[in-house]
Amino acid sequence: MASITAALIATAVLGVCFANTRIFSVAAVGILTFVHPWLVVLILAVTAAAFYFRFKNRK
């Protein structure tokens, strides 16, 4: 199970880096949250922090 989780994390990270592989990143994150439901809380917190810091300095 640990090897599948590591592979999905690597796919999610590398998928964000390249425009052509974004769909693989979305799929990997979806599978990760299905396998490990507690990751939903972590992903929502990181997304909220990213939006907060991105739009905080914009005026």
Tokens of 11: 């796919």
* Tens-place pLDDT, residues 6-42: 999 999 989 888 889 899 999 998 999 899 999 889 8
Would the pTM of this model clear 0.85, i.e. be above it? no
Domain tally, the chain? 1
What is the extent of the structural domain holding 48?
Answer: 2-56
Tokens of 41: 């809380």
Tell me what the mean pLDDT of segment 35-50 comes to: 89
Burial 3-25 (b: 16+ CB within 10 A, else e): eeeeebeebbeebeeeeeeeeeb
As a whole number of angstroms, the distance between CA 14 and CA 20 comes to 11
pLDDT given for residue 23 in this prediction: 93
CA 39 from chain centre, in angstroms, equals 9
